[in-house]
């Protein structure tokens, strides 16, 4: 999968293992039947409700980490829903934003040569503090898997932590600094993004307040596949 003149796609460091989702339970666990018929328990690195993407019987891909210190050797990475691969690993977007920043995935973030992770700010921690020729900016990253039609939505449940992040970013803007929120849309079938008003009305209200305050919203689309992840650019914000 090459990407022409566009940004370099991310490739998984080792081949993923295909299977079928049998059940998901206790937030962190998933029963998966591998292609060879073996039944395994995989770690589910997404503690949210996974609205619309947790479909029993759907094809999934797992990464394999046979380190002795791990209890579960397999990690659930993606699931195929309506013919589209959806990334479910919530830790991946932060790592890939870090990775993509070095490779020019985000033209909106050009001019930031240095970055510091997990910076304490206000009531919570912000994922990145970017500094460089472009000045400085705070960047928070959110993983998005829920979609209705071609519209990606976040959050898919009440998130007080997410609300705190929005309040902190608004405060950062009020202090005259740049503040950005990058919604990592972990599926290729969405061209629009909107706050999940139905699930968290307060978050949706804060989202609009943040927009008005000048917080820069970047709903970033990626194409997820068993070989890697390819950047697709920004989705249209609908409020």
Is the distance from CB of 234 to CB of 222 less than 8 angstroms? Answer: no
Beta strands in the chain (DSSP E): 10-11, 17-25, 29-34, 39-43, 59-64, 74-81, 84-87, 114-121, 124-132, 135-144, 147-148, 151-154, 178-185, 192-195, 216-225, 228-234, 236-237
User: What is the residue whose two structure tokens read 């591998």?
Assistant: 34
Residue 3 or 118: the one with the smaller Cβ distance to DNA is: 118
Nearer to DNA, 5 or 114 (CB): 114
- Is residue 90 part of the contact set for DNA (CB under 7 A)? yes
Report 165-194 residues binding DNA (CB under 7 A).
165
CB 183 within 8 A of CB 217: yes
Q: Please identify which residue in 17, 24, 43, 178 interacts with DNA, judged by CB under 7 A.
A: 43
The correct pick among 159, 163, 186, 225 for binding DNA (CB under 7 A) is 159
| Among the listed residues 45, 52, 122, 226, the single contact to DNA using CB under 7 A | 45
> Does 87 sit near DNA (CB under 7 A)?
no
Stretch that binds DNA, among 1-9, 11-19, 110-118, 221-229 (CB under 7 A): 110-118
Size of the residue set binding DNA (CB under 7 A): 30
37 preceded by a cis bond (ω within 30 of 0): no
Q: 135-144 and 178-185: which strand pairing?
A: parallel
155 binds DNA (CB under 7 A): yes
Task: Give the residues lining the site for DNA (CB under 7 A).
Answer: 26-29, 43, 45, 47-49, 65, 70-72, 75, 90-91, 95, 98, 116-118, 124-125, 155, 157-159, 161-162, 165
């Amino acid at each position: 999968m090459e990407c022409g003149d566009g940004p370099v796609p991310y490739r998984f460091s080792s081949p993923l293992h295909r299977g079928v989702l049998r059940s998901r339970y206790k937030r962190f666990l998933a029963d998966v039947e591998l292609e060879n018929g073996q039944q395994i328990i995989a770690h589910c690195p997404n503690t949210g409700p996974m609205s619309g993407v947790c479909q029993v019987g759907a094809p999934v891909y797992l990464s394999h980490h046979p380190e002795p210190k791990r209890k579960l050797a397999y990690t659930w990475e993606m699931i195929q829903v309506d013919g589209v691969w959806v990334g479910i690993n919530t830790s991946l977007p932060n790592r890939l934003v870090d990775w993509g920043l070095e490779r020019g995935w985000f033209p909106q973030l050009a001019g930031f040569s240095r970055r510091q992770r997990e910076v304490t700010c206000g009531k919570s921690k912000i994922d990145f503090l970017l500094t460089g020729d472009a000045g400085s900016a705070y960047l928070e990253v959110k993983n998005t898997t829920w979609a209705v039609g071609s519209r990606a939505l976040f959050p898919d449940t009440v998130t007080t932590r997410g609300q705190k992040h929005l309040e902190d970013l608004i405060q950062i803007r009020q202090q005259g600094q740049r503040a950005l929120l990058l919604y990592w849309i972990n599926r290729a079938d969405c061209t629009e993004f909107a706050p999940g008003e139905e699930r968290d009305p307060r978050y949706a209200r804060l989202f609009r307040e943040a927009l008005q305050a000048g917080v820069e919203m970047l709903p970033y689309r990626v194409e997820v596949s068993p070989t890697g992840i390819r950047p697709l650019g920004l989705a249209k914000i609908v409020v």
